[in-house]
Amino acid sequence: MPLVSRGQVEKGGGYVSTETVFLLKSRGLAMTAIASHECIISLGTNIEPEHHFAQALEILSRECELVARSEAVRTAPVGFQQQPDFLNAALVVRTSQTRDAFKAYLRDVEQRLGRVRGPIKSGPRTMDLDIVAWDGEVVDEGYFQYDYVRGPVDAVLASCHRALGGQAPQQP
């Protein structure tokens, strides 16, 4: 009897865990497996940061499968300095979407939170959501370049015993 190794399975418009799938399959009930991807998202906000951070967490935990999150940390702005400090964090989520579709989804969440992309690339924002890693591989060079990305990502990796691209899992 086939066993889905990871992810979620669609059942009547909702999702159930793969452990439930094994149980249902063992009872002779057929289900269709949905591919699942695990990704790490970097969050950053410096316009009403506590408010927008809470809203982003609520939206993402309601619309995605939230695996783990780092604590939020305050960081000084990089680049354009004449702006408030940022609140940064990282999340591990699972999604059935492709990477491009999930990136578009994150842009939609940013817009729902009032994000307007202005002329200053590193300027103030209500929310910045970036995919840092996809299925264990770093896809955003910001992880290697900026402590405000790497610190929360490393913290969330340690908290859920994950590693990126061949690295050993970190201890919390």
Which residues form the catalytic set? 115, 125, 128, 130
Q: How far apart are CA 148 and CA 41, in angstroms?
A: 13
DSSP code per residue over 89-153 = EEEEEEESS-HHHHHHHHHHHHHHTT----S-TTS--S-EEEEEEETTEE--THHHH-HHHHHHH
CB count within 10 Å of CB 72 equals: 20
Q: Is 35 helix (H, G, I), strand (E, B) or coil?
A: coil
Record the tokens describing residue 8, joined without a space: 């979620």
- Check: CB of residue 58 under 8 Å from CB of residue 66: no
CB count within 10 Å of CB 106 equals: 21
Residue type, 124: P
